[in-house]
Amino acid sequence: LMDPPSVWCWDTRTEFSQQNFHLIAEDRETLQFASGLKVVNNLKGEQELWVLTSSFQRVMTGSLSSDRINFRIHAEKIPILLEKSPCKASRNNFVYHADR
């Protein structure tokens, strides 16, 4: 979400609605403008979430400075991100069916 800058998860075994979205990361400084988000497999075969962020307001105003961090690549293993979240996958992997 854009305000506050954050990353949320949704347990796909539940209905797609706001009540089933759960905050997993929030940071007004480092997640200012997320322009890319991807799940990748690392060299050990573990899934990671990668998020590319920038200080977009500085890009648009031409005020980028080499004295500041203007772009970031965040990466974290999915199980760690979801560790304390209701989105954490269980051994009972069932899927929510919207048509039922």
Q: Is residue 17 in a domain? A: yes
| Domain encompassing residue 43 | 6-60+67-82
Q: Is residue 96 in a domain? A: no
Q: Is residue 38 in a domain? A: yes
Q: Is residue 53 in a domain? A: yes
Residue 97: predicted pLDDT: 47
Residue 1: predicted pLDDT: 54
The amino acid sitting at 23 is: L
Residue with tokens 């999915």: 78
Q: CA-CA distances (angstroms) from residue 11 to 59, 85, 86, 88?
A: 35, 9, 7, 7
Residue 40: predicted pLDDT: 94
Q: Is residue 54 in a domain? A: yes
Q: What is the pLDDT along the chain (100 residues), one digit of tens a residue?
A: 567 889 999 988 899 999 999 999 998 888 888 889 999 999 999 999 999 998 877 878 888 788 888 889 999 999 999 988 888 865 555 454 455 4
Q: How many domains, in total, are found in the chain?
A: 1
Q: Whole-prediction pTM value?
A: 0.73
Residues 45-74 as b/e (b if ≥16 CB within 10 A, e otherwise) read eeebbebebbbeeeeeeeeeeeeeebebeb
Q: Is residue 25 in a domain? A: yes
Q: How far apart are CA 100 and CA 94, in angstroms?
A: 14
Q: How far apart are CA 20 and CA 37, in angstroms?
A: 20
Q: Is residue 21 in a domain? A: yes
Q: Give the CB-side neighbour count of residue 88, counting CA atoms within 13 A.
A: 11
> In the beta sheet, which residues pair with residue 72?
53
